[in-house]
């Protein structure tokens, strides 16, 4: 795993990216994108909440390939909970399998569970480091 300074939004439509998500589907069938990076990307890609809601409803709270360059990465079971380090580990394993299958050379992502999820970066890095190789670029926001 590599670390770079940058904003996930700079990569929308330009490179494969990961958004951190929860498993909540609203009554209207759309995913609850929360208030973090999933919401920011959803503001740019207005179809995202409906597609993720459908996939969550049909296949559960797992890593989902949402379009040619966007992948969901569950960190919380519901929008009301804090991030779950066990779920993050499972999501990382699923992400690696998906990236291997697709053959992506680089994938951009936030450090999962450390913003609104409330986890300590050192704890998350300790779980992810053995799983994610240098194809996975974790973006740290500027400033």
For residue range 93-136, what is the model confidence (pLDDT) as tens digits? 999 999 999 999 999 999 999 988 999 999 999 999 999 999 99
Residue 100 belongs to domain with CATH number: 3.40.220.10
The domain total for the chain is 1
Which residues have C-beta within 8 Å of that of residue 143, sequence separation ≥ 6? none
For residues 73 and 63, the answer to whether their CB atoms sit within 8 Å is: yes
Q: Please give the DSSP secondary-structure letter assigned to residue 82.
A: P
Q: What is the pLDDT of residue 135?
A: 97
The domain of 98 spans 2-140
Residue length, the chain?
A: 143
Mode of pairing for the β-strands spanning 17-22 and 64-67: unpaired
Query: Is residue 85 pLDDT above 80, yes or no?
Result: yes
Distances (CA, A) of 102 to 1, 13, 17: 18, 17, 13
Mean of pLDDT values over 54-61: 98
Q: What is the pLDDT of residue 143?
A: 54
Q: pLDDT tens digits for 6-42?
A: 999 999 999 999 999 999 999 999 999 998 999 999 9
For residues 39 and 30, the answer to whether their CB atoms sit within 8 Å is: no
Q: Please give the DSSP secondary-structure letter assigned to residue 4.
A: E
Q: What is the pTM of this model?
A: 0.95
Q: How confident is the model at residue 142 (pLDDT cuts 50, 70, 90)?
A: low
Helix and strand numbers (H, E) in the chain are 4, 6
Q: What is the pLDDT of residue 115?
A: 86
Q: What is the pLDDT of residue 48?
A: 97
């Amino acid at each position: 795993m590599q670390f770079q300074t940058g904003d996930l939004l700079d990569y929308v439509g330009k490179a494969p990216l990961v958004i951190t998500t929860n498993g909540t589907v609203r009554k209207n069938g759309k995913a609850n994108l929360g208030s973090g990076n999933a919401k920011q990307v959803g503001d740019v890609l207005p179809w995202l909440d409906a597609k993720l809601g459908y996939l969550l409803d049909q296949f559960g709270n797992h890593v989902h390939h949402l379009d040619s360059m966007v992948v969901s990465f569950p960190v919380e079971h519901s929008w009301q909970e804090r991030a779950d380090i066990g779920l993050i580990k499972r999501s990382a394993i699923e992400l690696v399998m998906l990236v291997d299958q697709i053959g992506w050379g680089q994938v951009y992502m936030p450090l999962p569970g450390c913003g609104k999820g409330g986890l300590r970066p050192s704890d998350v890095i300790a779980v992810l480091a053995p799983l994610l190789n240098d194809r996975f670029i974790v973006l740290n926001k500027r400033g």
